[in-house]
Amino acid sequence: MRIHCPFCGERDAQEFITLGQATGSRPDPASADAPEAFHDYLHLRDNPRGASTEHWYHAAGCRSWLRVTRDTVTHQVTATELVAR
Protein backbone atom coordinates (compact mmCIF):
# COMPACT_ATOMS: atom_id res chain seq x y z
CA MET A 1 0.00 0.00 0.00
CA ARG A 2 1.39 3.41 -0.97
CA ILE A 3 0.24 6.84 0.13
CA HIS A 4 0.82 10.05 -1.78
CA CYS A 5 2.19 12.63 0.69
CA PRO A 6 1.76 16.26 -0.46
CA PHE A 7 5.37 17.00 0.58
CA CYS A 8 7.24 13.74 0.04
CA GLY A 9 5.44 12.21 -2.94
CA GLU A 10 4.32 8.59 -3.12
CA ARG A 11 5.71 6.70 -0.13
CA ASP A 12 5.32 3.19 1.34
CA ALA A 13 2.50 2.95 3.91
CA GLN A 14 5.03 1.60 6.45
CA GLU A 15 6.34 5.15 6.88
CA PHE A 16 2.95 6.19 8.20
CA ILE A 17 0.95 5.63 11.38
CA THR A 18 -2.83 5.54 11.17
CA LEU A 19 -5.20 6.92 13.75
CA GLY A 20 -8.32 5.60 12.06
CA GLN A 21 -11.39 7.38 10.81
CA ALA A 22 -11.28 11.14 10.37
CA THR A 23 -15.01 11.68 10.77
CA GLY A 24 -16.43 13.89 13.50
CA SER A 25 -14.65 16.49 15.51
CA ARG A 26 -13.90 16.75 19.20
CA PRO A 27 -17.11 17.73 21.05
CA ASP A 28 -17.35 20.85 23.17
CA PRO A 29 -16.58 19.76 26.76
CA ALA A 30 -18.67 22.62 28.13
CA SER A 31 -21.87 21.58 26.35
CA ALA A 32 -24.73 19.97 28.25
CA ASP A 33 -24.55 16.68 26.32
CA ALA A 34 -20.75 16.43 26.57
CA PRO A 35 -20.61 12.97 28.26
CA GLU A 36 -22.81 11.40 25.57
CA ALA A 37 -21.05 13.29 22.77
CA PHE A 38 -17.63 12.19 24.01
CA HIS A 39 -18.80 8.58 24.29
CA ASP A 40 -19.86 8.62 20.65
CA TYR A 41 -16.75 10.50 19.52
CA LEU A 42 -14.30 8.28 21.37
CA HIS A 43 -15.87 4.83 21.09
CA LEU A 44 -18.33 4.51 18.21
CA ARG A 45 -17.26 4.05 14.59
CA ASP A 46 -18.90 4.12 11.17
CA ASN A 47 -16.44 1.42 10.07
CA PRO A 48 -17.33 1.73 6.36
CA ARG A 49 -16.76 -0.95 3.76
CA GLY A 50 -15.41 0.92 0.72
CA ALA A 51 -14.37 4.58 0.72
CA SER A 52 -13.13 5.72 4.12
CA THR A 53 -11.60 9.02 5.24
CA GLU A 54 -8.79 8.51 7.72
CA HIS A 55 -6.05 10.34 9.59
CA TRP A 56 -2.52 9.19 8.77
CA TYR A 57 0.70 10.60 10.23
CA HIS A 58 3.88 10.58 8.14
CA ALA A 59 6.07 9.54 11.06
CA ALA A 60 9.13 8.49 9.06
CA GLY A 61 8.90 11.42 6.67
CA CYS A 62 7.74 15.01 6.92
CA ARG A 63 5.76 14.35 10.15
CA SER A 64 2.61 15.89 8.75
CA TRP A 65 -0.91 14.80 9.61
CA LEU A 66 -2.78 13.81 6.48
CA ARG A 67 -6.42 13.23 5.65
CA VAL A 68 -6.42 10.16 3.41
CA THR A 69 -9.33 8.75 1.41
CA ARG A 70 -8.78 5.03 1.10
CA ASP A 71 -10.90 2.09 -0.01
CA THR A 72 -11.10 -0.49 2.79
CA VAL A 73 -11.70 -3.35 0.34
CA THR A 74 -9.10 -2.65 -2.37
CA HIS A 75 -6.70 -0.62 -0.14
CA GLN A 76 -6.46 1.92 -2.94
CA VAL A 77 -5.67 5.47 -1.82
CA THR A 78 -7.64 7.94 -3.92
CA ALA A 79 -6.93 11.30 -2.24
CA THR A 80 -4.64 12.84 0.35
CA GLU A 81 -4.55 16.34 1.79
CA LEU A 82 -2.93 18.09 4.72
CA VAL A 83 -5.13 18.19 7.81
CA ALA A 84 -3.78 21.64 8.60
CA ARG A 85 -5.19 23.06 5.41
DSSP-derived 3-state class of residue 56: strand
**Residues of span 60-79 touching another protein by CB under 8 A:** 70, 72-75
How many residues belong to the site for another protein (CB under 8 A)?
25
Residue 25 C-beta: closest distance to another protein, Å: 16
Strand 51-57 relative to strand 17-21: parallel, antiparallel, unpaired?
A: antiparallel
**Cα-flanking dihedrals φ and ψ of residue 42, to 5°?**
-85, -35
Residues 26-55 that bind another protein (CB under 8 A): 36, 39-40, 42-47, 49-50, 52, 54
Max Cα–Cα distance, the chain, nearest Å: 44
Fill in the amino acid letter for 70.
R
Please choose, out of 16-24, 26-34, 57-65, the segment that lies near another protein by the rule CB under 8 A.
16-24
